Chain A
């Protein structure tokens, strides 16, 4: 693999894994918890956010030399709001049922801190290609996070995945999981899992190097 390809790949994986917006940075919590009552909703929200993130970062990166630093935040917000409006109409055109299920949270993508954060911290300092790849990675990472949450909540709370019944007639759904508290609990558990896994890996690396770990 050539040098350029490696950096691009790493740039992409940055958001998918190392800096995952849901599990590592814990950003953009509101939509993460609100729309993940089912796997379909979670994936759609992930896609919509990825679209807005990528388009906004592309435009910000293209205009980065033009935008005066005094008014950059205002400019970014206007650009993001533009693409959110676009996505809002696109979803209405694709499926009204999906639009109703996601509710106000499509429009609330505007204030998702991941997007403004990426525009400010990355896209405004990098050329378009890098910015787009990084934004795509972040978007995919966000979608994975949402899907992890949405599928668990749908399976536990409704006994279904993608609307298909998994456990048959006699399954008594764990309803609280699709209610607001369930969102907090499931995300909390995922974070716990990630923290425990990170701890375990650190310890193993430490052991391999022969370094004693003090927890």
Chain B
């Protein structure tokens, strides 16, 4: 070994470096694409099943679903596969029973809870014009306190909850509001759980934010939605 190599370690020529990096990038690229292609169908299938299960859970009697956009101009449009949301559109799911009749409408809502965003899926019954119920999609609320909203019997007794679109077709006739425990005075108010007020309020706000925009848009199209497409 001569002196020069000791003090100055030999450098890999740039061409060799680029060649090797290119080779590795090619190998990695192939692996990723193969994994993506290989799992694509299973993943889509899983997502579909998960969505159906979630909708069936909140819409009583539903056996099949159809996905729609409620557009800001008041129109509705079927969701195409892999389509991105049009501006200001709200996605909703129409649930159909075994006879193919509309059993209910489900949509997602989100609001800031105690620890993090509370995301819920709620169901609207077009026959009674009430929110039939809701389920939590994702939340990091305190176990034993915030998660009471799905178990507390008094809280669940708030549903069905009145949600009537106003005559002018722009909003709900009455804003859905969560009120302090024991002070519920109207059919559109939600009685909060004592000790879990913030999470209760998040549920109310999540429903209200979506319902205010979505339900008036849907109300005009109930005839189109009535039968399974």
Contacts and interface: CB of A to CB of B under 8 A. Distances in A.
Interface of A: 59, 63, 66-71, 74-75, 78-79, 81-83, 85-86, 89-90, 92-93, 95-97, 100, 157-158, 173, 175, 178-179
What is the interface residue range for chain B against chain A?
Answer: 20 to 34
B85 interface: no
Contact of B32 (A69, A82, A158): A82
A97 B46 CA distance: 10
A99 to B, nearest CB: 9
A70 B17 contact: yes
20 contacts: A59-B27, A63-B24, A66-B20, A67-B20, A68-B16, A74-B21, A78-B24, A78-B28, A82-B31, A85-B36, A89-B36, A89-B39, A90-B39, A95-B46, A96-B50, A97-B50, A157-B143, A173-B143, A175-B143, A179-B142
Interface of B is mostly: helix
A113 B145 CA distance: 36
B25 interface: yes
Point out which of B23, B27, B145 has the most chain A C-beta atoms below 10 A from its C-beta: B27
Contacts of A100: 138
Contacts of B27: 59
B1 interface: no
Given A90-B39, A93-B43, A178-B143, A70 B28 contact: no
Interface in B109-153: 138, 142-145
A156 to B, nearest CB: 12
B170 interface: no
Nearest to B35: A86
A173 B46 CA distance: 33
A79 B35 contact: no
Chain A to chain B: the 8 pairs with minimum beta-carbon distance, closest first: A68-B12, A93-B42, A82-B28, A93-B39, A86-B35, A89-B39, A92-B43, A68-B17
B47 interface: yes
Given A70-B12, A85-B35, A97-B50, 14 more contacts: A63-B20, A63-B24, A66-B23, A68-B12, A68-B17, A70-B11, A70-B17, A75-B24, A79-B28, A89-B35, A93-B39, A93-B46, A96-B47, A173-B143
A175 to B, nearest CB: 5
B143 A69 contact: no
B24 A79 contact: yes
Contacts of B42: 93
B138 A96 contact: no
Contacts of B145: 175
A193 B36 CA distance: 43
Given A78-B25, A157-B143, A179-B142, A89 B43 contact: yes
Interface string B185-221: 0000000000000000000000000000000000000
A1 to B, nearest CB: 36
Contacts of A69: 12
A68 B23 CA distance: 12
Contacts of A97: 50
Nearest to B37: A89
Contacts of B25: 78
A85 B31 CA distance: 9
A175 B31 contact: no
A22 B35 CA distance: 30
Nearest to A100: B138
A86 B16 contact: no
